[in-house]
């Protein structure tokens, strides 16, 4: 589904991402882990187009998407959440979800005028479902900025889902969550995989990563140091060194 070949991003002399390769198969939950500053978020920003790669290719369903502007990548089927929540704080919860309704099928369903200046009718049913899934139905008319932290995280996920993506990029969705919320997130990710989503999960919370992912890629200083099933990666000595330091 998504294939990254020799991907690099240099900021001046800093090689934030330095020639990494990985391929995500349709239907799997793929983990991207690594210590702080290892280039995980940069990789996501490259995939969704916020940064232009210095080198390398990003293939989505076989097509190089390097030249596709960020706002078009959503309609290709790439949606994301942000590590540091980026909601439209002064829009209501409902409107936040409405904004993400930009998939080709959404665009096709109403004429230009009806879509842009018409009522909210078309979206009502779908957004009600998204609200139900994320447990935010009772807050539909509240401003997103007034939600509690956990609710904001759930809304971010719901907003990404509202775009009907094929590949979902989750950038540290568990950051700042308590154990109970992480358990809920775990369930949600599994449910999404059941529904047929492919997921790229970036996460520091190892328990979660090891529990929900099918395969994991480990980055350190912008390079890939390991890839494999959670069990393989956990057994890998290079990974242990990167996280814990060398024995001597």
Q: Site residues (CB under 8 A) for other proteins? A: 48-50, 69-72, 74-75, 79-80, 82, 86-92, 94-95, 98-100, 102-103, 115-120, 124, 127-128, 131, 137-138, 140-141, 143, 159, 163
Contact 5, 59 (CB under 8 A): yes
| Nearer to other proteins among residue 170 and residue 239 (C-beta) | 170
| Nearer to other proteins among residue 74 and residue 242 (C-beta) | 74
Burial class (CB in 10 A: 0-12, 13-18, 19+), 119: exposed
| Nearer to other proteins among residue 156 and residue 227 (C-beta) | 156
Closest distance between other proteins and the C-beta of residue 62, in Å? 21
CA distance readout (Å), 219 to 34, 36, 82:
5, 10, 19
CA distance readout (Å), 242 to 35, 60, 245:
7, 30, 6
Closest distance between other proteins and the C-beta of residue 103, in Å? 8
| Nearer to other proteins among residue 138 and residue 246 (C-beta) | 138
136, 180, 183: which is closest to 161 by C-alpha?
A: 136
| Nearer to other proteins among residue 35 and residue 118 (C-beta) | 118
Q: In what order do the strands lie in the sheet with 29-33?
A: 78-81, 167-171, 198-202, 29-33, 215-220, 223-228
Two tokens, residue 133:
């899934």
- In degrees and rounded to multiples of 5, residue 159 shows phi and psi of -65, -40
| Nearer to other proteins among residue 7 and residue 163 (C-beta) | 163
Closest distance between other proteins and the C-beta of residue 100, in Å? 4
| Nearer to other proteins among residue 108 and residue 117 (C-beta) | 117
Closest distance between other proteins and the C-beta of residue 79, in Å? 7
Closest distance between other proteins and the C-beta of residue 72, in Å? 7
Closest distance between other proteins and the C-beta of residue 175, in Å? 17
Closest distance between other proteins and the C-beta of residue 132, in Å? 9
């Amino acid at each position: 589904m998504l294939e990254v070949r020799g991907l690099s991003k240099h900021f001046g002399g800093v090689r934030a991402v330095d020639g990494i390769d990985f391929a995500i198969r349709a239907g799997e939950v793929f983990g991207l882990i690594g210590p702080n500053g290892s280039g995980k978020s940069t990789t996501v920003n490259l995939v969704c187009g916020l940064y232009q790669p210095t080198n390398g290719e990003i293939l989505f369903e076989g097509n190089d998407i390097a030249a596709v502007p960020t706002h078009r990548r959503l309609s290709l089927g790439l949606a994301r959440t942000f590590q540091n929540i980026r909601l439209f704080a002064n829009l209501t919860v409902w409107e936040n979800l409405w904004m993400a309704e930009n998939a080709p099928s959404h665009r096709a369903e109403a004429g230009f005028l009806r879509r842009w200046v018409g009522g909210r009718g078309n979206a009502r049913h779908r957004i009600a479902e998204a609200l139900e899934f994320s447990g935010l139905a009772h807050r539909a008319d509240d401003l997103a900025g007034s939600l509690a932290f956990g609710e904001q995280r759930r809304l971010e996920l719901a907003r990404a889902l509202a775009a009907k993506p094929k590949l979902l990029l989750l950038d540290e969705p568990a950051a700042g969550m308590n154990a109970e919320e992480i358990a809920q997130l775990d369930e949600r990710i599994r449910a999404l995989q059941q529904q047929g989503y492919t997921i790229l999960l970036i996460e520091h919370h190892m328990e979660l990563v090891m529990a929900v992912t099918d395969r994991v890629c480990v980055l350190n200083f912008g390079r890939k140091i390991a890839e494999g099933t959670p069990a393989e990666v956990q057994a890998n000595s290079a990974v242990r060194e990167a996280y814990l330091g060398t024995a001597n």
